[in-house]
Structure 1
Amino acid sequence: MTSEAPASTPTGHTVIQGYLKTLETRPGVYRMLDAKGAVLYVGKARNLKARVSSYARPTGHSPRIARMIADTASMMFLTTKTETEALLLEQNLIKQLKPRYNVLLRDDKSFPNILVSGEHAFPQIKKHRGRKAEKGNYYGPFASAGAVNRTLNQLQKVFLLRNCSDATFDSRTRPCLLYQIKRCSAPCVGYIDEAGYAQLVSDAERFLQGKSTRVQSQLAAEMEAASEALEFERAAALRDRIRALTQVQSTQGINPAGVAEADVIALHTEGGQACVQVFFIRANQNWGNRDFYPKTAGAEPSEILRAFLGQFYDGKDPARLILLSDDIEDRELLEEALGEKRGRKVEIAVPQRGEKAELVAGALRNARESLARKMSETATQSKLLAGLAEAFGLDGPPSRIEVYDNSHIQGAHAVGAMIVAGPEGYIKSQYRKFNIRGEELTPGDDFGMMKEVLTRRFKRLLKEDPDRNTDAWPDLLLIDGGAGQVSAVHEIMAELGVEDIPMVGVAKGVDRDQGKEEFHRTGARPMALRRGDPVLYFIQRLRDEAHRFAIGAHRQKRAKSVSATPLDDVPGVGATRKRALLAHFGSAKAVARANLPDLKAVEGISDTLAGTIYNHFHDGGGA
């Protein structure tokens, strides 16, 4: 149900009062919009009419809620069958719309897992991120790729499982380096049979399930038996594995005996900022922690934590037990929603004593220390941005800096890159790469490449946000290059009608000496900053980050082109069918020369697809 605010009362609590006559007492979700139709706030209610009536009062609100009410020009409502449905819908809308007055989780990356593959006689152990589509057993989540890599490194020492791909495994004729350094049992060349390898896999999975004590006891018994049988080489190998297993346990830090599985979540707020620290306890082991800095919009701690939980677990599986530093509103409702999502009971608790309370206290200490570091870094960043504004005569410290760079080898595999920085440092979620498309460009034409990148960037920005209502518009552009680059970019910006954005070209100084950079601006003489100026170092770091990102994007594009084959252009042939065809025929050229009956004989290739492939290579559809 959607209504328009009365024309005589464009904003404020009187607008909200106008909706009360038509509202129902059912659960649902409401949206508060400003005069331009932008969503200010998304909320859910057990009783829509009762919740909205609280906003219709002229007084008794916190400063944040009072500002929100004053900005409200209209509202939208959607009723649901249950309050749980309303909660889930609320979180989806917050994630999609990012309203100004809601608490927003800004870092929403997925967490990595360890996968023990399940479709091979000799399973592979590897890091996995994303959808769990591959068959096998998943263990996680881990807080970071580093936490996974450290665990995998130690698991290889202990259990000697392979981490190579199936294709590499099938092509080996000699054991690889990992076997030489005692990190793999070399099943690829038959140095261990299927039964022996299966036992190693079983031991590794028991360790990942928290049964490390049993594994260690078993290894000790095997070592003693080998020693008694005078098999000293085998006993020494088992001794090394026990030592590696002990090292894994000692480096994991917190290993709670009474908490098998939990997410420990603690919130610390200070000076209008917040840090949420999340520890992952799985199989009685600490699998790392991650800190988050949600946009609080001035909300109270209980509201921040509730909003964080709803957004954090959107797309992530919750643990059986969630331990919190502060109680939240609608705790039982959130338990029900997360339980439905996981398919089993989820408990949310605020422990007051014992081991669980100690875990929360540790997470809270980390949150407090992390926020202190973050606030210190932000203060330093603010000083640098103020210095940047003073150096280049900007109206004020920029809140969004975009830095552009290109990368190519003699014009081949050309890629443009954009990085973004602001008061809180690099905003990596906003980084963008641009595959250079201009066929008329001369190979290595950096001016032309930069023109193409800036044209595409700002044409899209003008299309998506012509009124500049969002924070996607930059306050400063940094271009890698001198007067020529700045002139080329200025020409594009003038054509697009966005000449009001300050732009600085960063050119390498005399003898390409870092520290002697020259800065070029439209209509101004080149300038330099004194060597040792913190602002100069800041600009160098921005340029180097853009260069790093551009080179990474270029290498990815080059690597992809190296592995490309004519089969990539055949409709209906994806990665799996491509592998099947190459395995059957040996090469893409052989596939192109194959006749129709041979193509039909390939496993996974239907008669229709075989005809498509044949026609692609024989009827002018391909080379």
Structure 2
Amino acid sequence: MTDQSDMPPTGYAVIQAHLRTLDGSPGVYRMLDAQARVLYVGKARNLKARVSSYSRPGHSPRIERMIRETASMMFLTTRTETEALLLEQNLIKQLKPKYNVLLRDDKSFPNILVAKGHSFPQIKKHRGAKKEKGAYFGPFASAGAVNRTLNQLQKAFLLRNCSGPMFDSRTRPCLLYQIKRCSGPCVGLISEQDYAASVKDAERFLSGRSTRIQEELAAQMMAASEAMEFERAAALRDRIRALTAVQTSQGINPRGVSEADVIALHLESGQACVQVFFIRANQNWGNRDFYPRVGADVSPAEVVEAFLGQFYDNKEPPRQLILSDDIENADLMTEALSEKAGRKVEIIVPQRGEKAELVSGALRNARESLARRMAESATQAKLLRGLAEALDLDGPPSRIEVYDNSHIQGANAVGAMIVAGPDGFDKNQYRKFNIRGDDLTPGDDFGMMKEVLTRRFARLLKEDPDRDKGLWPDLLLIDGGAGQVSAVAEIMQTHGVEDIPMVGVAKGVDRDHGKEEFHRKGQRPFALQRNDPVLYFIQRMRDEAHRFAIGTHRAKRAKSVGATPLDDVPGVGATRKRALLAHFGSAKAVSRANLADLKAVEGISATLAETIYDYFHEKG
């Protein structure tokens, strides 16, 4: 037994001891437990005053628990409180402290890009850094929202969505021209001037100036009809309908709000849903729900403020943030976001009018979304309890890892891992493994699984040796029978992780869905009743792993099909590769070209021409 006298002091005494070293500077403080794990990150205008408030009793139960666990503290002073706010939210996202409100799902959002690197600009979906030359419009709430809008924009403005090489290689118009989704610039069916006018109209529409475009199209349709150009009139009618369809699908199109994010919070039973509506160019570009991790006794102000700080940490804020709840440090947050955006950002909590109606709609969505999630969580919790009972586990698993492989006769082999738990599938935790083993026999599923699990456990032992970061699984599900289970058990024994339950899921004799057999090391295989909800749950997890593995394999195969020897030549990127292929016609012709011909290619310097020539001739 551990002698309590040997344990480091915790709680109020620790905090009071730190007070002697602090002054009134602004900054960020961290509370750590006896194992040096970060419990809480906070900011302060005056560090001494803020920390002093923790040195006396009288807090909420959540904060009292945090104080009791505190064994040490760390401090970082900043020049201003604004800097402290930004640093605080950045550290919360990095460290994921136990007692902070934490935004768990923080992916980037897609945009529509009108790419301007070509005389006939391309319109397409874009996600990530805005490095490509062109006009960006967004963010949209989802890829689906972008795809729907792009689909209608193609009908309305007939802009191309094909890539540069495809555009340059066309000798006749593609199917999109035939179905009136493109004006056929690739084969000269529209002039550069007329195409530029269509691009300008599309940009005006995406900037919110749609009424004038529709009026102009209506006037052109009337003129075409009067001139008995009925085919042209019908085409213009279709374009007007497409623009109307975009506006209709958006539902809410506020007149008085040109650029804003509408953010509404619903709290219930210690859970939270934040609903965000993206309003740009007086149009609704979709909405997303988020479920930050909160405590039972957090205030709406604390949740909304934490959400804003973390959400806009890697995103550009709009001109207005329309909130359902006031936040404590509104002035400070306004200053921080304005500084980040390089322009004024306004934070408002409307009480009446159109903005209040927008918040009301977002609140209704948040309330309904949280009700659905809580119902799903209750069902998921019941399934996890049933799974623990069926597989004889110590308790319901919090993290289930499911593994599968995919290949075609050993080619483009990949391993896949999906993760499931109390909140369903956790797609942020999915991982893919490109199979590297050169000594594997093509199609050796045992060898592939061994490689995947070896790499997985080696990484876990390196990243979370003490198993206190929540990265370790409570249950492994393997696609396969007794042979796969033995192979995986050997890997686990090698890495000293034999305490993790592992089950192989194999199809029955006739490979029928519903007759799965479950294999565990040293035990006889068993099956579940065909109508058992736990069986359906396991099937869903295995099917999800299979779907992810197949998708990863297809992506790798598609990449390898499009690969050429030029991909490995130092200094040859996508643009120079295109130039070389356009000049010589094929990678084989490039490999056989003499130095003088290589130097003649536009964009290929004399030095790079020598590099390319040496690469192919030294290899030969």
Fold in common (TM above 0.5): yes
**1:19: Cα distance to partner?**
1.4
Three-state SS of the structure 2 residue aligned to 1:18 is helix
Q: Identify which of 160, 163, 166 aligns with 1:162.
A: 160
Q: Identify which of 260, 268, 283 aligns with 1:270.
A: 268
Query: Where does 1:24-173 land on structure 2 (aligned, <5 Å)?
Result: 24-57=23-56, 59-173=57-171
Q: In structure 1, what is the Cα distance between the partners aligned to 2:565 and 2:199?
A: 39
1:247 match: 245
**1:615: Cα distance to partner?**
2.3
Whether 1:21 and 2:24 are equivalent positions in the alignment is: no
2:608 match: 609
Three-state SS of the structure 2 residue aligned to 1:109 is coil
1:280 match: 278
* One-letter amino acid matched to 1:185: S
**Equivalent pair of 1:9/1:15 in contact (CA under 8 Å):** no
* One-letter amino acid matched to 2:106: D
Whether 1:312 and 2:281 are equivalent positions in the alignment is: no
Whether 1:195 and 2:189 are equivalent positions in the alignment is: no
**1:7: Cα distance to partner?**
9.3
**1:8: Cα distance to partner?**
9.0
- Alignment identity in percent? 80
Q: In structure 2, what is the Cα distance between the partners aligned to 1:244 and 1:411?
A: 47
Whether 1:571 and 2:581 are equivalent positions in the alignment is: no
Q: In structure 1, what is the Cα distance between the partners aligned to 2:433 and 2:517?
A: 26
Q: In structure 1, what is the Cα distance between the partners aligned to 2:607 and 2:98?
A: 52
Q: In structure 2, what is the Cα distance between the partners aligned to 1:159 and 1:211?
A: 14
2:220 match: 222
Q: In structure 1, what is the Cα distance between the partners aligned to 2:529 and 2:537?
A: 13
**Equivalent pair of 1:565/1:588 in contact (CA under 8 Å):** yes
**Equivalent pair of 1:117/1:125 in contact (CA under 8 Å):** yes
More deviation in 576-585 or 218-227? 576-585
* One-letter amino acid matched to 2:129: R
1:3 match: none
Three-state SS of the structure 2 residue aligned to 1:102 is coil
Whether 1:528 and 2:527 are equivalent positions in the alignment is: yes
* One-letter amino acid matched to 1:304: V
Q: In structure 2, what is the Cα distance between the partners aligned to 1:326 and 1:125?
A: 38
**1:510: Cα distance to partner?**
2.4
1:353 match: 352
Whether 1:503 and 2:502 are equivalent positions in the alignment is: yes
* One-letter amino acid matched to 2:333: L
* One-letter amino acid matched to 1:604: G
* One-letter amino acid matched to 1:500: D
Q: Identify which of 287, 291, 295 aligns with 1:297.
A: 295
Q: In structure 2, what is the Cα distance between the partners aligned to 1:599 and 1:240?
A: 49
User: Normalising to structure 2: TM-score of the pair?
Assistant: 0.97
Whether 1:233 and 2:231 are equivalent positions in the alignment is: yes
Three-state SS of the structure 1 residue aligned to 2:510 is helix
Three-state SS of the structure 1 residue aligned to 2:263 is strand
**1:91: Cα distance to partner?**
1.6
CA deviations on 1:315-351 (whole Å, 9 max, x unpaired) are 1111100000000011111111111111110000000
Q: In structure 2, what is the Cα distance between the partners aligned to 1:280 and 1:467?
A: 42
**Equivalent pair of 1:27/1:81 in contact (CA under 8 Å):** yes
Three-state SS of the structure 1 residue aligned to 2:114 is strand
Q: In structure 2, what is the Cα distance between the partners aligned to 1:312 and 1:300?
A: 18
* One-letter amino acid matched to 1:291: D
Q: In structure 2, what is the Cα distance between the partners aligned to 1:466 and 1:243?
A: 60
CA deviations on 1:372-423 (whole Å, 9 max, x unpaired) are 0000000000010000000011000000000000001111111010000000
Q: In structure 1, what is the Cα distance between the partners aligned to 2:591 and 2:287?
A: 51
> Is there any run of 5+ residues in structure 1 with no aligned partner, and where?
1-5
Three-state SS of the structure 1 residue aligned to 2:161 is coil
Whether 1:481 and 2:473 are equivalent positions in the alignment is: no
**Equivalent pair of 2:113/2:126 in contact (CA under 8 Å):** yes
1:468 match: 467
Q: In structure 2, what is the Cα distance between the partners aligned to 1:601 and 1:94?
A: 54
Q: In structure 1, what is the Cα distance between the partners aligned to 2:420 and 2:378?
A: 15
Three-state SS of the structure 2 residue aligned to 1:264 is strand
**1:570: Cα distance to partner?**
2.0
More deviation in 9-18 or 401-410? 9-18
Three-state SS of the structure 2 residue aligned to 1:309 is helix
* One-letter amino acid matched to 1:579: R
**Equivalent pair of 2:165/2:578 in contact (CA under 8 Å):** no
**Equivalent pair of 1:100/1:297 in contact (CA under 8 Å):** no
Q: In structure 2, what is the Cα distance between the partners aligned to 1:575 and 1:66?
A: 57
More deviation in 117-126 or 323-332? 117-126
* One-letter amino acid matched to 2:552: A
**1:9: Cα distance to partner?**
6.0
* One-letter amino acid matched to 2:18: Y
**Equivalent pair of 2:123/2:161 in contact (CA under 8 Å):** yes
Query: Where does 1:315-464 land on structure 2 (aligned, <5 Å)?
Result: 315-464=314-463
> Is there any run of 5+ residues in structure 2 with no aligned partner, and where?
none
**Equivalent pair of 2:8/2:34 in contact (CA under 8 Å):** no
Three-state SS of the structure 2 residue aligned to 1:511 is coil
Q: In structure 2, what is the Cα distance between the partners aligned to 1:194 and 1:606?
A: 30
RMSD: 1.4
More deviation in 591-600 or 428-437? 591-600
**1:246: Cα distance to partner?**
1.8
User: Normalising to structure 1: TM-score of the pair?
Assistant: 0.97
* One-letter amino acid matched to 2:9: P
